Amino acid sequence: MSLASILESLFFATDEPLTLERLLEVIPGENAESLKAALSDWRQRLLEDESRGLQLLEVAGGFLLATRPQNSEFVDRLLERRKKRTLSQAALETLSVIAYREPITRAEIEAIRGVNVDSMIHTLLQRRLIKISGRKEVPGHPFLYRTTKHFLHHFGLRSLTELPKIDELSQALADAEGRGDGAGTEATPAAADEAGHSE
């Protein structure tokens, strides 16, 4: 299996930027120089082939596979339909953990919930209810997640101090989601660029 094929699969499988360090961890036998060369070559091929709808970006200290800007009209339409769907109970519970423990890593969320939260994190990022707010200073430097201003607006809160008790939060968010609080004001998802809010 070629390195290019492996890289394409890895980037397709995640919605987070992948650093060279992370790629070296999951692709045994490769070195930083070969990875840099492969990423550079792939990025250039995507850029030059106008029939492709993807681009490889350098963001947040890593690389991220993203859609081309010229296709944004169609992507926005797709996401507009998705975001009208209500959040699942699992996503609401994950959001509750983030709201009370932020900033928090994916591993910390999973330790609290006892389940894999990859799909929930992806959904919450798309809905602009959470954002990546940096990296934790521990081995591996995992991403930290926190809620956004849009989270407050969507659920009708002025600040995080208005959150109900943690054992009541998931139900409160579910009730607000069911009422459609803030539903008419969502814009195109841009989780990575969402401005932060103070706690």
Span 85-97, pLDDT tens digits: 677 888 888 998 9
- Of 158, 187, 186, 157, the closest CA to residue 169 belongs to 157
**More confidently predicted of 97 and 75:** 97
Task: Say whether pTM exceeds 0.85.
Answer: no
What pLDDT, on the 0 to 100 scale, is given for residue 101?
92
Cis peptide before 103 (omega within 30 of 0): yes
Those residues with Cβ within 8 angstroms of residue 121's Cβ, 6 or more apart along the chain or in another chain: 15, 94, 106, 109, 130, 145
d(CA 115, CA 106): 11
**More confidently predicted of 128 and 170:** 128
d(CA 101, CA 197): 15
- Of 86, 93, 98, the closest CA to residue 183 belongs to 86
What pLDDT, on the 0 to 100 scale, is given for residue 134?
92
> In this prediction, what percent of the chain has a pLDDT beyond 90?
40
Q: How confident is the model at residue 114 (pLDDT cuts 50, 70, 90)?
A: very high
- Of 135, 136, 153, 147, the closest CA to residue 100 belongs to 147
Question: Highest-confidence range of 80-89, 128-137, 164-173, 180-189, by mean pLDDT?
Answer: 128-137
What's the CATH architecture for 74-192? Orthogonal Bundle (1.10)
Q: Is the pLDDT of residue 18 over 60?
A: yes
What pLDDT, on the 0 to 100 scale, is given for residue 136?
93
**More confidently predicted of 83 and 62:** 62
Where in the chain do CATH 1.10.10.10 domains reside?
3-67, 74-192
What pLDDT, on the 0 to 100 scale, is given for residue 67?
87
The residues facing 145 across adjacent strands are: 104, 132
Topology of domain 3-67, CATH: Arc Repressor Mutant, subunit A (1.10.10)
